[in-house]
Amino acid sequence: EAGVAQSPRYKIIEKRQSVAFWCNPISGHATLYWYQQILGQGPKLLIQFQNNGVVDDSQLPKDRFSAERLKGVDSTLKIQPAKLEDSAVYLCASSLARGIGEQFFGPGTRLTVL
């Protein structure tokens, strides 16, 4: 079975620019997560979707970050405008359903903000 796909793998932008990341979860997985992993830290949940609805976005900086999952499948995460402190790896994960099932992670997008 195909894993979680993410693109691009790497992105370099200047501060105040905008950037978008794309995630395609494993087919049939209803739950999708976006994590931010800053160098030297563990992943931090930004937002969780159940199908196309938001379950938890309490740690998403909503003044600059947005995410959508319009058809309950693919998802995009956008940063506008980017700040230096947004430099991190952005991980997408999916699971079959909410709860304590296994999350399957994509390879991540490494963002560098100059």
Partner 1 sequence: AQSVTQLDSQVPVFEEAPVELRCNYSSSVSVYLFWYVQYPNQGLQLLLKYLSGSTLVKGINGFEAEFNKSQTSFHLRKPSVHISDTAEYFCAVTPTGNQFYFGTGTSLTVIP
Q: Which of 7, 76, 87, 103 binds partner 1 (CB under 8 A)?
A: 103
Residues facing residue 53 across a β-bridge: 50
From the CB of residue 100, how many other CB atoms can be counted at a distance below 10 Å? 7
SS3 state of residue 109? strand
Using CB under 8 A as the binding rule, whether residue 1 contacts partner 1 is answered as no
Site stretch for partner 1 (CB under 8 A), options 14-22, 64-72, 76-84, 98-106? 98-106
List phi, psi (to 5°) of 84: -55, -40
DSSP 40: T
Kindly tell me the sign of the dihedral angle through the C-alpha atoms of 40, 50, 94, 24.
negative
Using CB under 8 A as the binding rule, whether residue 61 contacts partner 1 is answered as no
CB nearer to partner 1: pick between 81 and 107: 107
Structure tokens at 107: 């390879």
* x/- track of binding to partner 1 for residues 12-51 (CB under 8 A): ----------------------------xxxxxx--x---
Q: Which residues bind partner 1 (CB under 8 A)?
A: 3-4, 40-45, 48, 55-56, 91, 93, 98-108
